Amino acid sequence: MVEEYQHLIERGLTQESIYRGQLLKLRVDTVALPNGETAQREIVEHPGAVAAVPVTEDDQVIMVRQFRYPINQITIEIPAGKLEFGEEPETALKRELAEETGLKAGKIQLLGEFYSAPGFSNEKILVYLVRELSPQVITEKTDSEEFLEPVKIPLDEALRMAADGRLRDAKTIIGLNWAKAALRE
């Protein structure tokens, strides 16, 4: 961390592990604040995730309709999934794309990465543009507890949906905007 920002930095003093689940871990740390006082920070540890913006030759985006239990809503999102332990991001990307859409990508391009909620979680999502799509036979699914269906939407329409509130999750809004910029280059 650069020296000039010492007046902003918090230092971890102790860590208490609250929960270790299938997906998440929850920790509560005591930290030393820049003014020397102490405070508690609640941290959700996440393994990280990958997301794909799959665009067909005729500029349609392949997305997935699914039920999101934490928000009690049906959403349409770009295909995505968490990293398995020790997994390379591109391996996870190919697996999730195949499982969620039945597609294989001939061309994969990293668009960028972002933190979904850095105030309380370390979740980082890598976003890829995937093109030259072809059908893929799936032999085994990693996640048998996931129910979703692919949806094909013209890229321009998907961008309007991301702007007017019909698409409402962070990775989908960011992924579509980054894909648009990359495809225009």
CA nearest 24: which of 134, 116, 138, 157?
A: 116
CA nearest 84: which of 57, 111, 50?
A: 50
- Is 10 a residue of the active site? no
Q: Which of 3, 140, 145, 185 is catalytic?
A: 145
Burial (CB count <10 Å: 0-12, 13-18, 19+), residue 73? exposed
State yes or no: residue 35 binds its own copies (CB under 8 A).
yes
Q: Figure out which of the listed residues 118, 152, 154, 156 binds its own copies, where binding follows CB under 8 A.
A: 118
Structure tokens at 64: 């997935």
Q: Figure out which of the listed residues 114, 131, 136, 153 binds its own copies, where binding follows CB under 8 A.
A: 114
Q: Figure out which of the listed residues 2, 134, 135, 184 binds its own copies, where binding follows CB under 8 A.
A: 2
**Residue entry with tokens 């370390």:** 122
State yes or no: residue 122 binds its own copies (CB under 8 A).
yes
Least distance (Å) from its own copies to the CB of residue 106?
25
Residues numbered 80 to 99 that lie near its own copies (CB under 8 A) are 82
Residues in contact with 72: Cβ distance below 8 Å, sequence separation at least 6, in sequence order: none
Please give the positions annotated as active site: 145
